[in-house]
Chain A
Amino acid sequence: NAGVIQTPRHKVTGKGQEATLWCEPISGHSAVFWYRQTIVQGLEFLTYFRNQAPIDDSGMPKERFSAQMPNQSHSTLKIQSTQPQDSAVYLCASSLEDRDGAETLYFGSGTRLTVL
């Protein structure tokens, strides 16, 4: 099992450009999560899908950020008009829902986004 695959590993964009980040979850996992990691804020939840349906996007910035899961094998996080404050490591995770109702998340290695 290859684990969660995130591409690209590194992305550099100019201010105002668009960035699309890709995630391939572990085969058979029913949920996909997106987190953002910075030194100042730590690990912040952004959004998650279960069985491809959006469930909770409470952590997503209201503007410029969107996430999709068009099929069970990949999810994308799109940031329009990137700003320097969007620079972070974006982490994707997938999970199987446990019988006790709590998720165990398996993370990819992340995409480091740098906005110049």
Chain B
Amino acid sequence: GDSVTQMQGQVTLSEDDFLFINCTYSTTWYPTLFWYVQYPGEGPQLLLKVTTANNKGISRGFEATYDKGTTSFHLQKASVQESDSAVYYCVLGVYNQGKLIFGQGTKLSIKP
């Protein structure tokens, strides 16, 4: 079935460090891939969306790239700030199937 795997449960960085979070996905359909971010007390919110029409998305200093050959989808940021502390979810959307499938999430903690 359709699935998403995030192996990094928690990442701790210092301000200005480089961020890289990877995930892998599995589907037999055309995927649309998302990164959602969730702050404490809030619902997840869209950070980036990447479709098969392109393989890269950029928003708020974050960049997401997917590789169809390895079915991997990663999120990176050149220089993280304390305000980036949150949980990041890799999410799979499957063509015409409505629901989104969430990965397990990666909690990012930034040391000031």
Residues of chain A contacted by B105 (CB below 8 angstroms): 42-43
Say whether B99 contacts A100, CB under 8 Å: no
Q: Choose one: B94, B103, B104; the contact of A102 (CB below 8 Å).
A: B94
- Interface magnitude class on chain A: 20 to 34
Task: Judge if A66 is at the interface, Cβ distance under 8 Å.
Answer: no
- Interface magnitude class on chain B: 20 to 34
Say whether A45 contacts B101, CB under 8 Å: yes
Task: Judge if A73 is at the interface, Cβ distance under 8 Å.
Answer: no
Classify the interface of chain B: helix, strand, loop or mixed: loop
| 8 Å CB interface, B98-112 against A | 98-105
Residues of chain A contacted by B45 (CB below 8 angstroms): 106-107
Residues of chain B contacted by A103 (CB below 8 angstroms): 93, 98-100
Say whether A43 contacts B89, CB under 8 Å: yes
Residues of chain A contacted by B46 (CB below 8 angstroms): 104-106
- Contact flags (1/0) for B71-112 with A, using CB distance below 8 Å? 000000000000000000100011111111111110000000
Residues of chain B contacted by A91 (CB below 8 angstroms): 43-44
Q: A100-B53, A104-B34 are in contact. Are A43 and B99 (CB under 8 A)?
A: no
Say whether B49 contacts A55, CB under 8 Å: no
Q: Choose one: B30, B49, B98, B100; the contact of A50 (CB below 8 Å).
A: B98
Closest Cβ of chain A: how far from B93's Cβ, in Å?
4
Closest Cβ of chain A: how far from B33's Cβ, in Å?
9
Q: Which residue of B lies closest to A92 (CB)?
A: B43
Distance of A56 Cα from B97 Cα, bound (Å): 9
Say whether B98 contacts A48, CB under 8 Å: yes
Chain B residues with CB under 8 Å of chain A are 30, 32, 34, 41-46, 49, 51-53, 89, 93-105
Contact sample, A vs B, 17 pairs, CB 8 Å cutoff: A31-B98, A43-B89, A43-B105, A45-B101, A50-B98, A55-B98, A56-B97, A56-B98, A91-B44, A101-B30, A102-B93, A102-B95, A103-B98, A104-B34, A105-B100, A109-B41, A110-B43
Contacts A42-B104, A56-B99, A102-B95 aside, 7 further interface pairs with beta carbons under 8 A come to: A33-B98, A43-B105, A91-B43, A91-B44, A101-B32, A105-B46, A109-B42
